[in-house]
Structure 1
Amino acid sequence: MTDRAEIYSKVTDLIAPFNKKNVALGDATTFQHDLEWDSLTVMDFVAAIEDEFDIIITMNMQAEIETVGQLVDAVVKLKA
């Protein structure tokens, strides 16, 4: 089982190519406000997360995930 720190590291690695403003990442970093992602970027990123972790993030889950920490926690839960 992968622990939260490992998942956090993989998630931040996956964010890097989409982090055009080189925003410092933390649990509270928001995708919409801090990273300023549009809907297409979000969809591309979600696909990358789903491929990396072999999970499915539903549209309802996506709507509730606003921060890096929330995403990491969702991945941990889906991998359990």
Structure 2
Amino acid sequence: MITVINGTPGSQIIGARWTKASASDAIGDCVELARVNETEVAVRNSRFPDGPALVFTRSEFVAFLDGANRGEFNAMTV
């Protein structure tokens, strides 16, 4: 299994297939995700592909998505 730690440059995560969020735009508001291995997901800012990626366990990411779907983070965007 590939081991990746937080802060690893996104472009150096071997085998990562980055998926850009559909809400990303040409101005540079871009977020990308990649499955690192069977248990982890990485997130990066695609404007800086060599910048650090944040790595979350699958269960952490599922908890985040659940909170986002429930609107728990909506206050972050106003």
- Fold-level similarity (TM above 0.5): no
Higher relative contact order (CA 8 A, sep 6+): 1
User: Greater CA radius of gyration, 1 or 2?
Assistant: 2
- The normalised TM-score by structure 2 is 0.28
Larger strand percent: 2
